[in-house]
Every structure is written in structure tokens, then in C-alpha cells.
A and B are shown apart, each in its own frame.
Chain A
Amino acid sequence: MEKIVNINFLRNFVLLSLITTVTGCNLLNQKDPDVIVTTEPMLTKSEEGEVEKVVSAESVNLDFNEEKGYTLGNNIIYFDYDKYSVDKDSDKKTIKKYANYLKDNKKASIRIEGHADERGSRAYNLALGEKRAETIKEIMLINGVTLDSIEVISYGEENPASTGITEESHSLNRRVEIVFSDTGK
């Protein structure tokens, strides 16, 4: 099963690369706009349609970790100082992975735990942690997850991942952790 997935993935990857190259050439030449119009939908279609299946297949593998319990690989999303937007594609993939799992396993439920670093006021940091968790909840809802399978909680600055006072420690503490309340299995 895994092998098939991998082959599929490889095939798609090659296909995607080819299309990208073709598109890229046309973009550079700027001579024949029609080609761009016809290839672009194909590109998005194959990217969405095929790559998601791979992600969804991967997501079935639950990892068990003494501290974190069950996860789907990475379960932490980091944020910039005083920010709560999710910009990185890798983070969006992590969220989608959980969203897909929840859609496939109707009995499963998660807790989205928001955190902030220690700088600034505690009540504001509690709000910041909640807003970070809410942002991820919103992305999951957009991706078709039902409201009752998500619980959001903020701990503010109270449960740091790192107790240091350097920027590196602070950046590790500005995070959201996705935790299974129930894996549905």
C-alpha cells in the first residue's frame, strides 16, 4: 500500500515538474498567453487532486509519544512575536493533515492549545494564545471539520516549552499544540 502511494507520488511529482517547466518557459517568453491560460488550471487541479491524497494516506499513521500522546507527526505550529497568522506552507499542511484525519475519523476530537512567550501582560498573552488557537480552528472549519470535534484552550504564557530568556526560547514558546482528546480508534 505504502509503495503504491509512493509510486503515485513520484509519478505526480514528475508530472508536476514537467508542467511547471512548460509553464515557466511560457512565462519567460510571454509570447503565447493562451498556453498559460490552459496549463494553469491543469497545474492547480493535479496539485490539489493528487497531492492531497498522499497527505491523507500519510495521516493515518498515528505516532505515539510519551509526552504528547498520539500525533500525526509534527503537532506544533510556531508564531511570530505578537502575531497569530499562519503563513508557512508546512504549517498549513500540518493543519490540513489533522483536518483530514478528523474528517475521516468522525469519532476523533482534538484540543488546540495556544501559548505565548512571557513578554508583556499575562491577560494579553492569554488572549494571544487563544487567538492563535482560534486561527487554527478557523482553518480546520474551512477545511470541513465539524465544530464539535475541536476544543480551543489558551494557557497564555504559563506553560512555556522553554524556560530560557533568549529570543530562541521565546520563539519556541509562541506556539499552538494540537493534541488528540480522542483519536477515534
Chain B
Amino acid sequence: MIKSIVMLFTFIFFMISNVSAELTIKIQRAEIGTLPIMISVVGDSKSYPAKNFSEIIENDLYGSGYFNILDASTVKNSVKNKKTQYALWNLAGANYFLKSEIYSKGGSEYIKFNLHDVVKKEIMFSYKIKLTNKSNERKIAHTISNVIFERITGIKGVFDTKIAYISTEKRPEKKIYKLHVSDIDGYNSVAIYKSSKQLMSPTWSPDNNKIAYVSFENNRPEIFIQTLASGTREKLLNNNNSNSAPAWSPNGKLIAFTSSIKGNLEIFTYNLVDKKVKRITNSIGIDTEPEWHPSGKKIFFTSDRSGRPHIYSKSIRYGKAKRLTFDGSYNADSNISSDGEYLSLVHNGGNGHKIAIYSLKENFLKVISSGRLDEAPSFAPNNKMILFASKKRNKGILVATSNDGRIRKEIELSGEDVREPIWSH
């Protein structure tokens, strides 16, 4: 029996522009096969409330789908006798217990944390982190979540990674487009570029230091590269064409993109080192949405050469394109898993546009979302979650779901439409 639990957290968070927007995160998941854990953080200091840390860690672990969070305040957690302590935790149903404390020593503040394996009655690890800057609170909590997650599941944690997305805010008389970078739970959002003209197709550089995207600031789609730390912007190509759908090669040297030549949309690569442009595809109709294989030797792309949009692959050096998808009437916007085994894509099998996963090894396609206007899927760096854009009451929201669809996290921004999310590497 699958039981769904809906947790709703609503907070006010402040964006760089000082305009407050309300961020709503809703986690919905099936309650099966999860590991029971208790999180206890004690010892408030002036600037670091313990409650903040425990809340962030609990949300991270719960939202991963691998853990069940049990209330740590229902048990005595400072029993001197170790045997008795483990027995109490065991009795309360916990398999794991995170015992954490914030304390001061020599004028500095620290957070130390021990993870207990309740079943084996032993400490799995013990760490401390020096607390220096208030703005790092969420980052530190996400790092602790990562360590817990990795040690218990053996899977790389992604709680401290980033996402980029586009939002639009309707103001009287005009619309403001924003390119955001935020934590994966939607917090620490910074609008790194704002424009009254359309912004689209953000994509991360392999080192996550830059983002390439499409901007209509000169009244046609052009590709820009923005360095996150400095805010420096650079136009990729100085020509009069419309250029779109940028994708960074795994070695960071090439950007694949779409441009039209003699009335057809084809895929090209731009070499960031020698500035040379090379044509990759050649067909009548539309070829767009390039996506690199992790080897950097071939690309996946959307083409309508068969009459309908489908996913194709092609070597960037030679040879013909190979059609990959045959199911349904529409397959587009592929995004590859970091192990190179799966594509997430937009699929229409006759019941609206949904997110599907396509196995490159087994040529098998599986639908994992239930919306009718779902789009822009991207894998988490550990390939365990997929982030995409959906519509709720005709408003754009972001959704993160596990590969099996068991967990679903929705991120909504009040007063703004959000779309085109992409997970960092």
C-alpha cells in the first residue's frame, strides 16, 4: 500500500532586488522502503539557530526519498550509558541518529556532528565545521546532508549543487525576464541577469563557473556567456543570424548551437579557443537542441527529418545521423545522464507533453511525469532525480522527481512564472 504524504513549507525569502517573493516547496512521495533517521541539532548560538540546521538537513534527506524523518525530541538524547542510549533510539524506531551541536571555543563557533548507526551501535563518522559567515548556513547544512546521504546510501549527494532557471515577472506595461541561479531547494536565489526581452535556454559550463543562454536584447536570439563570479557577459557570435540552444561540450572547449542556413535550421559547433564555427548537421527542416554525449565525441539532437520531432545522435566528426526514438508523435529536448546511459526528454504519446526517460542501451522509453505541458528535463549530477518545468493552474512551476516517480518536489514562486530549469554538473 502506497501512502502519500504531503509536506508544505512556506517561507518568505528575499531576493537581491529587495522585492520579496514567496517561495513554496511542496514534497510529495510514496512511503515505501525508506530509512528511519533522527536529526538532533542543539546548542543555539547568537547567529546560528540550531533549528535552521536541523530543518534544512531534514528537508534534504526527506526530499531525497531515501529517508524517513522521525522526531528526535520524543527521545532522551543525552543518556550517558551508550548501550541504553542506542536501545532508546532503537525503541523509537530510528536506524540512524545524527547528533549535532553548535558550540563556541576560543572566540569561534563550530558545528560538530556524529552519525550513529543505531543497529550496529557505533559511530559512523564524526566531523566539525567552523562557522564563519552567516550566508553559508544553508551551504553548511547541505554539506552535512551530503555526508550523511553518501555514507548511508553509497550514492553521491547533490544537496549542495545548484540549479539555473528562467522566470518572468509581469509588471504593469512590461514583463521582466530573469535568469536565476539558486540552491536545488530554490533558496539562495540570485537573478544573475534581468531583461525586458526574452531570455531562454540556460546551460552550465562543465566547471559550473559560467552559464550560456539565449537573450533577445538585440531583438533576435543570440547566445551569451556569463561568468558567475564576476558577472562578465560576452556574446558568442558576432553575426546577423539567429543563434539558439547552446550546449557546452564536456571538455568545455566547444559550444554546440542552432542557426539557420539557407532556410534550414542546423547544428553547429563554436570553438571557444580558435573561434572557428563548424557545421555538424545537414538536413531539410529543423535540427536543434544539441546535447553532448559525456565522451564529447557525439551529440544528441531533435530533428523533424522524419516528419515529426524525434531524437537523433550523430558523431561530431563524420557519419550519418541515427534516429533513436520511435515511440509517440513527439520526442524533443534530450538531456543525458552523466553516466551516458539515459536520456531524459519531452515525449508525447498522445496524452500531452510529458517527461520520459529513454535507455540508450535497451532502446526503451518510460514516461515519468503526469502533466500535459511538462518540458525542459535535466538530470541531477548523481542521476537519481530529474528536474523539469510544469504548469500548475496555468502557472509555470519547477518539479524535481525521482527516476521512478516516487518522489515529487514542486518549487513555486509567487507572482512569477518559472521555467527552463537546468541542474548544474
Q: Which residues of A contact B (CB under 8 A)?
A: 82, 118-124, 126-128, 130-131, 134-135, 137-138, 152-156, 158, 165
Contact = CB atoms under 8 A, between A and B. Distances in A.
A122 to B, nearest CB: 6
A123 B330 contact: no
Given A82-B309, A153-B219, A156-B200, A122 B376 contact: yes
B265 A131 contact: yes
18 contacts: A82-B304, A82-B309, A118-B373, A119-B353, A120-B346, A120-B353, A122-B376, A123-B288, A123-B289, A124-B289, A124-B309, A126-B200, A127-B258, A127-B265, A128-B286, A153-B220, A156-B198, A158-B200
A131 B394 CA distance: 27
B309 A120 contact: yes
B353 A124 contact: no
Nearest to B199: A158
Interface of B: 198, 200-201, 214, 216, 219-221, 242, 244-245, 258, 260, 263-265, 285-286, 288-289, 302, 304, 308-309, 330, 332-333, 346, 348, 352-353, 373, 375-376, 394, 419-420
A121 B221 CA distance: 16
Chief secondary structure at chain B's binding surface: strand
A122 B308 CA distance: 16
A82 B348 CA distance: 12
B346 A121 contact: yes
Given A124-B286, A128-B286, A154-B242, A82 B308 contact: yes
Contacts of B419: 122
A155 B197 CA distance: 10
Contacts of B221: 126, 154
A88 to B, nearest CB: 20
Contacts of A137: 263
Given A82-B308, A135-B263, A126 B333 contact: no
B242 A120 contact: no
Contact of A134 (B263, B348, B373): B263
B332 A152 contact: no
B332 A121 contact: yes
Contacts of B348: 119-120
Given A131-B286, A137-B263, A123 B220 contact: no
